[in-house]
């Protein structure tokens, strides 16, 4: 993973960045209280109409069905004061580390989450993801997903932008799953034992059986 402040590569188990000293505790000083329990889709800025929120939640459910061990979440904000004091990347990192998402399976943790944060003031966005996804995603992948949504965010079409990110992210992870199935040793070297990286492939293949194996929430 990379440090949210200096963007230097650091080990995923590091408690602080060895280059600049950034840590989640330092982010706590900027963002204040623990965000507590929140939904997968938290439209704090009110950017989406009710029908749009339903479509986004359907996309989040579909992502959860395709990758049952992961979940995709979204957060929108007009918090100009925070984005001036600290970058959106750091805010996403802090939120992913501190928030509890209540409408996700009990077996899922934020280590297997992807969080899309949208700042309505600057019409910008960032993607943060947990360390379980380290072998499957990198900075270029995140940039590519956001690039698909950039024109929509510039036009303030946040619905199409979010759906574009979800679609691009699914394609990227499906491609990585195929690569990991062909070369598990290469992917395992990035984070640990082969079973940690192989699980994405196996459960992704199981998901192809269809929704009849899932509950109403879109999970096994």
**83-125 per-position pLDDT tens digit:** 455 588 889 989 998 888 888 766 678 889 999 999 888 888 9
24-212 CATH pick, 3.40.50.720, 3.20.20.20, 3.40.50.2000, 3.10.310.50: 3.10.310.50
Q: Is the confidence at residue 186, as pLDDT, over 90? A: no
Supply 158's token pair. Answer: 């946040």
Mean pLDDT of the chain: 79
Alpha carbons within 13 A on the beta-carbon side of 107 = 7
Mean pLDDT of 188-207: 41
pLDDT of 35 strictly over 90: no
The DSSP code sequence of the chain is: -B-TTT--B--TT-SS-TTT---HHHHHHHH-S---EE-SEEETT--S-HHHHHHHHHHHHHHHHHSTT-EEEEEEE--HHHHHHS-HHHHHHHHHHH-EETTS-TT--GGGEEEEEEETTTTEEEEEE-GGGTTT--HHHHHHHHHHHHHHHHTT-HHHHHHHHHHHHHHHHHHHHHHHHH-HHHHHHHHS-HHHHHHHHHHHHHHTT-GGGS-TTS--
Between 60-64, 168-172, 216-220, the lowest mean confidence (pLDDT) is in: 216-220
The pTM assigned to this predicted structure is 0.81
Phi and psi at residue 216, in whole multiples of 5°?
-65, -25
Mean pLDDT on 188-214: 39
Instruction: Give the start-to-end residue ranges of the domains of the chain.
Output: 24-212
- C-alpha to C-alpha distance for 92 and 98, rounded to whole angstroms: 10
- What is the reported pLDDT for 40? 93
pLDDT higher than threshold 90 for residue 7? no
What mean pLDDT comes out for the span 127-145?
90
- Residue 204: pLDDT band (50, 70, 90) is very low
Give the per-residue pLDDT at 83.
Answer: 44
Which range has highest mean pLDDT (63-67, 189-193, 196-200)? 63-67
Tell me which residue of 45, 110, 33 sits closest to 73, measured CA to CA.
110
Res 131: pLDDT:
85
Highest mean pLDDT among 2-11, 127-136, 198-207: 127-136
């Amino acid at each position: 993973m990379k440090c949210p402040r200096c963007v230097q590569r650091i080990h995923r188990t590091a408690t602080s960045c060895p280059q600049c000293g950034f840590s989640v505790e330092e982010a706590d000083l900027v963002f204040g209280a623990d965000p507590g329990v929140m939904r997968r889709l938290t439209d704090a800025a009110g950017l989406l109409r009710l029908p749009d929120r339903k479509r986004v939640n359907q996309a989040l459910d579909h992502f959860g069905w395709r990758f049952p061990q992961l979940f995709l979440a979204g957060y929108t904000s007009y918090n100009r004061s925070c984005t001036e004091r600290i970058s959106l990347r750091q805010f996403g990192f802090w939120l992913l580390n501190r928030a509890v998402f209540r409408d996700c399976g009990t077996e899922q943790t934020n280590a297997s989450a992807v969080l899309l944060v949208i700042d309505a003031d600057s019409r910008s966005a960032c993607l943060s993801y947990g360390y379980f996804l380290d072998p499957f995603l990198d900075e270029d992948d995140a940039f590519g997903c956001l690039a698909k949504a950039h024109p929509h965010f510039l036009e303030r079409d946040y619905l199409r932008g979010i759906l574009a990110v979800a679609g691009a992210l699914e394609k990227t992870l499906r491609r990585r799953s195929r690569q990991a199935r062909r070369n598990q040793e290469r992917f395992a070297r990035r984070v640990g034992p082969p079973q940690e990286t192989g699980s994405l492939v196996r459960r992704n293949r199981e998901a192809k059986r269809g929704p009849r194996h899932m509950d109403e929430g879109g999970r096994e």
